[in-house]
Chains A and B, each alone.
Chain A
Amino acid sequence: MQKTPLNQIHRDLGARMVDFGGWDMPVQYAGVIEEHLAVRQSAGLFDVSHMGEIQVTGANALAYIQWLTVNDAAKLVDGQVQYSAFCYPEGGVVDDVTLYRFSDTRFMFCVNAANIDKDFAWMQQVLADSSIPEVTLVNRSKEFAQIALQGPKAEKILACLTDLPLANLAYYHFCEGEVDAVQMIVSRTGYTGEDGFELYLPAADAGTIWQKLMAAGQPHGLQPIGLGARDTLRLEKGYALYGHELSREITPLEAGLAWITKLDKNDFVGKAALVAQKADGVPRRRVGLIMLERGIPREGYPVFQGDIEVGVVTSGTMSPSLKVGIALALVAPEAAAAGTELEIAVRNNRMKAKVARPPFVE
């Protein structure tokens, strides 16, 4: 199993470790609910070093990225981040990613841990097939550790360790500089829906920076956060997770990612299939569901409208903030309007749920 540079620190903290897509990762420390609420109310520290970093450089880097991705990378300025995705020619999703622009000839993708090898191979294949010259791809995933500091107190905590002008760093922007004398990328992004940062730093410095952040954050209620709360936090905000809301079989239009799928930009891998799907009518829609009865929706539970099975739950949990079951589901368009009452088969009991537009928690 693969380990991040922070593995021993998690064990010393008494984390419960799990196999997450081949990575030995902390699923919880103090408990999912306590950790979840800490991020919403003060701050949490996440080891996300399993995520991948793939660098794209060269004179034609932007042209290649425009061909590779669904969003319009030409809109990015230096120091900006964009949420995007790679699609197969058939329209299904290879991965959802964030794209960092350092200059017009240097970019970096942050990709999902379980998809690093698949993505890098895909990027190489797309490059080769495109015959775009002067583009270099480097998988730098092993060089980088990644630590996410998330929550309303995140800026205050990070400011203890750096002179970087954090107050001027806008959402989905990044800068490079020193945090506690370690050169790193400081990105105002995250997967919790709270204010916060994702730090990309040399793997060798991860332990020191983690401990310094924990110490700086202690007066502010900073807690280490496992994958369990990472999932409930993203679900309350309705964020997609690859392998659940996104896959080779699910297009970005179905997955609620039409807002990043720029069908009016020049040709890109998957565009023709997506244009055709939009013209024919998207056959299913990703929706949010809030339980109207006691019961917790789980991935794979079928969704009914009357006697007709109209879809399936792709992720579900008890919302620690709302104390009610919430889910993301793929359903037929007729069942997708906000406010529609549907039923989820919870272990063979039909339970009422209502279609709601995420975020479930503001």
Chain B
Amino acid sequence: MEFPEELKYTEEHEWVMIEEDLAVVGITDFAQDALGDVVFVELPEVGTAVEAGKAFGVVESVKAVSDVYAPLTGTIEEVNDDLIDAPEIINTSPYEDGWMVKIRMAEASDADELMDAEAYQALIAEES
């Protein structure tokens, strides 16, 4: 299982890549593995306001429904429409092709609160 060093992570198993005042968000390798085959993704519309810690989307595997939480407060700038027809991309490429949304951050400094790869790995070691 991989946890790229350059990403930030949340307790809800999202990853975040900061690109200036944009945050690219997806779910981690750990999350996709735990879910199993992803068969449905629901994403917000561009322009939707999202709040840190609140659900902004849904990922469903064959068996389970999981909310996806906004790691940061801001506005949806872009969504990955490829996931609508091919949600399994989240399984095969969770950190790259499987990105879900880009959030324009209200406060870029909020990103400092997120976990680094080492802290996230310690968290999932505890959970599993």
Contacts and interface: CB of A to CB of B under 8 A. Distances in A.
B62 A33 contact: yes
A296 B39 contact: yes
Interface string B13-42: 000000000000000000000001101101
A16 to B, nearest CB: 8
Nearest to A232: B62
B37 A33 contact: yes
Interface in A236-287: none
A228 B40 contact: no
A317 B65 CA distance: 10
A225 B11 CA distance: 32
Contacts of A34: 37
A16 B63 CA distance: 13
A32 B35 CA distance: 11
A232 to B, nearest CB: 6
B60 interface: yes
Nearest to A16: B36
Interface residues of A, number: 18
A28 B62 CA distance: 11
A297 to B, nearest CB: 11
A294 interface: yes
Nearest to A32: B62
A32 B63 contact: yes
B124 interface: no
A296 B63 contact: no
Contacts of B84: 294
Contacts, number: 37
Contacts of B37: 31-34
Interface string B59-71: 0111101000000
B123 interface: no
B104 to A, nearest CB: 26
B36 A31 contact: yes
A243 to B, nearest CB: 15
B60 A318 contact: yes
B72 to A, nearest CB: 23
B117 to A, nearest CB: 24
A50 interface: no
Which of B36, B58, B62 has the most C-beta atoms of chain A within 10 angstroms of its own C-beta?
Answer: B62
A317 B60 CA distance: 10
A295 interface: yes
Contacts of A16: 36
Contact of A317 (B36, B42, B62): B62
A317 B63 contact: yes
B60 A296 contact: yes
A318 B36 contact: no
Contacts of B65: 296, 298, 347
B4 to A, nearest CB: 23
A32 B36 contact: yes
Contact of A228 (B42, B58, B60, B63): B63
Nearest to B61: A32
Contacts of A33: 37, 39, 62
Interface of A: 16, 27-28, 31-34, 228, 231-232, 294-296, 298, 317-318, 320, 347
